[in-house]
């Protein structure tokens, strides 16, 4: 507090100093709890995002799942209905576009396990969480850029011309796989820098 003990002459002054110390302790504890709560909420959102990403990446494997057993299942009907809805806005997903099919296959085989691995690392506080996160986010951004570039170089002929469908389902929805991974990459880079760069100051 910067108070000189020799300046405390009366019990009332001493009580005032004690009250001020307790107030500062209470304020510090409140700030600490607020930071912890923010961290918990942020971590939960990341886990939810990774789980949804894994589901979306597996969802892209539908063109490769053609067994009779799968085709006849109720689960497959729901799964394919969602795929068909998205395909009504992005025709490339239902027209056997070679690049999109390749990206879908690689994404499902690489990004899905990485999403699950990242969730495991976050929940169990593993030291390798951030290296895995960096690789995963780089893969997601790369795949999404290919998605947009393929459409751009083909004059956007493979996607809907409806303004609502274009901006919501093509741009905004897929843009999430650039914006959120970029944010996560930045966070992971800073965490690794704290460990690897002795001159780094948070």
DSSP calls for 86-150? HHTTBGGGTTT-HHHHHHHHHIIIIIHHHHHHHHHHHHTT-TTHHHHHHHHHHHHHHHHHHHHHH
Dist CA 28 CA 24 (whole Å): 6
Q: Tens of pLDDT along 41-71?
A: 788 899 999 999 998 888 766 655 544 444 4
Mean pLDDT, the chain, rounded, equals: 80
pLDDT score at 38: 47
Q: What is the CA radius of gyration of the chain?
A: 26
pTM over 0.75: no
Q: Tens of pLDDT along 108-152?
A: 899 999 999 999 999 999 999 999 999 999 999 999 999 999 999
Q: Residue 31: pLDDT above 80?
A: no
Q: Residue 37: pLDDT above 80?
A: no
The two three-digit tokens of residue 180, written as one number: 């959120």
Cβ contact 82:59 at 8 Å: yes
Percent of all residues in the chain with a pLDDT value above 90, rounded to a whole number: 45
Residue 27 or 4, more confident: 27
pLDDT score at 67: 44
pLDDT score at 56: 87
pLDDT score at 126: 92
Q: Tens of pLDDT along 83-108?
A: 778 888 998 887 778 888 888 888 98
pLDDT score at 103: 87
- For residues 157-167, average pLDDT: 93
The two three-digit tokens of residue 141, written as one number: 């951004």
């Amino acid at each position: 507090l910067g108070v000189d003990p020799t300046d405390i002459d009366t019990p009332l002054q001493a009580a005032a100093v004690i009250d001020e110390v307790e107030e500062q302790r209470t304020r510090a504890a409140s700030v600490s709890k607020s930071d912890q709560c923010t961290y918990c909420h942020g971590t939960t959102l990341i886990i939810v995002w990774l789980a949804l990403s894994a589901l979306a990446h597996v969802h892209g494997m539908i063109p490769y799942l053609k067994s009779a057993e799968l085709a006849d299942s109720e689960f497959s009907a729901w799964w394919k209905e969602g795929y068909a809805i998205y395909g009504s806005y992005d025709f490339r997903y239902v027209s056997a576009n070679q690049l999109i099919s390749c990206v879908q296959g690689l994404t499902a085989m690489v990004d899905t396990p990485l999403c699950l691995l990242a969730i495991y690392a976050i929940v169990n506080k593993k030291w390798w969480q951030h290296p895995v996160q960096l690789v995963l986010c780089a893969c997601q951004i790369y795949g999404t850029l290919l998605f947009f570039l393929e459409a751009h170089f083909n004059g956007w002929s493979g996607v809907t011309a409806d303004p609502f469908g274009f901006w919501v389902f093509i741009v905004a929805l897929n843009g999430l796989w650039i914006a959120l991974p970029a944010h996560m990459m930045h966070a992971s880079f800073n965490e690794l820098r704290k460990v690897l760069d002795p001159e780094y100051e948070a």
